[in-house]
Amino acid sequence: MIFPGYPKKLGAFAKNQRRYRKKHSTFAPIKSTKRMKLFKTILFIALVYSVGVASVVHAQQRDRYEFMRNLPVYADSLIADFDFPLAWQNAGIIDFEAWRRVARQKVLDCMLMPPPAPPAGYEVKVLFEEQRDGYKARKIEVRLSRYYTVPAYVLIPDGKGPFPAVNALHDHGAHLFIGKEKMIRPLACEDSTVIKDAEAWLAGYEGQFFGDYLAKHGYVVFSADAPMWGERGQKEGPLRERYDIIAGNMMMYGIDLCAWMTYDDMAGTEFLASMPEVDASRIGCTGWSMGAYRAWMLSALSDHIKVGTAVCWLTTTDEQLSFKYKRTENGGFANCLPGLRRWLDYPHVASIACPKPMLFINGSQDKLFPVAGVEKAFATMHETWKSQGADERLETELWEMPHSCPKRAQQRVLEFFQKHL
């Protein structure tokens, strides 16, 4: 196979080579046989490269296959077999608190090995502090495990505490370069690239840092990088395509990366409760998108959380992992707990938070979470809260909006905290 233009390019290379030999007498002349070998080498590399590119654009296909659109062809059969035997409605456990203990333990079992606790407690180091309008902003490093420390931001209102507090949980967005900086305006100690990136990411929050908004209204706000985000990312840079590979490698260690995100959220909340500026009886959590998933998971698993709010992450597995839609939130390692779907669906896990006050907001135009799945999840949760005489504490709302966390959603969350926290 001959690539047009290569002889000319090689000729130009040879001319430059001759000029170089005339200018530098110590440069050894290249014989014609060597030039031929060089040409063949270049030709071979070009051929291999072209085949590699073609294989990416046009993957080889067989007439028979077992997976399509990232799902097994028998996905509907898998869904049909789900009976969720540990759901409150199915478990046959009469005492609700007993059910909560059993269901919570099943979730923790499916989360596999937890990070080992830090031997000396949650050691914290203040890295930077600055005064903002009505509150202080700190960058800290807190040891959440024997294995690692975690970078985080903390906002503390001016005045005499202790104050109510919120664990502000950042989103996914397939954007891993920043984490905590999605929720709290980066401090002046950060690189200008981080600051600009955080400002650009505000589009999903309608130009407002959610954490700073809450701090201005009297809340201590804590936000930490989840594993793989921000300063807990990859040395090579935030390569999204390597996320699943790394998560798979972590599984080889017996570790579920999604579970460690939740374990860290639990540990971070425990640290937050230990802060002298915080009223430990008044801690809530909130988040958008993956942050919403993290919020209701944390509400279900941590007794430190008294109130939870979640914007745009809730569905049922039959809607999430079926072929009904061209595009849905198909899960992945960001919300994958091995084997859990054989016991509990998403709304069943969220119901472990009952009878806590909980607010769920989803968008009717959100293409990641179809309305059918959202409405089924809402109904399941209301059935649970109602069974405990606490249905007024569960507020579920479907707004005319896409996958986003606009200012009015942030205001709604604030009002819910002001009412219940």
Confidence at residue 327, expressed as pLDDT on a 0 to 100 scale:
74
pLDDT tens digits along 61-78: 999 999 999 899 999 999
Mean pLDDT of 242-267: 95
Q: Find the mean pLDDT for residues 201-216.
A: 98
| Dihedrals phi, psi of 310, to nearest 5 degrees | -140, 125
Mutual orientation of helices 6-23 and 32-57 as an angle, nearest 10°?
140
Distance CA 136, CA 132 (A): 6
Taken as a whole, the chain contains a residue count of 421
Write down the pLDDT at residue 3.
35
Report which residue type is found at 174: A
pTM metric for this prediction: 0.86
Q: What is the pLDDT of residues 111-124, one digit of tens each?
A: 999 999 999 999 99
Q: Give the mean pLDDT of the chain.
A: 89
CA distances to 136, 210, 221, 307, 343 from 421, in Å: 21, 17, 14, 7, 32
Tens digits of residue pLDDT in 117-146? 999 999 999 999 999 999 999 999 999 999
Per-residue confidence (pLDDT) for residue 27, from 0 to 100? 38
The percent helix, strand, coil of the chain (3-state, each to 5) is 45, 15, 40
Angle at 130 between CA 126 and CA 131, to 5 degrees: 135
Q: How far apart, in whole angstroms, are the C-alpha atoms of residue 32 and residue 17?
A: 13
Q: What's the distance, CA 269 to chain centroid? A: 17
Question: Which band of pLDDT confidence, cut at 50, 70 and 90, is reported for residue 36?
Answer: low
Task: Give the rounded distance of the alpha carbon of 376 from its chain centre.
Answer: 24
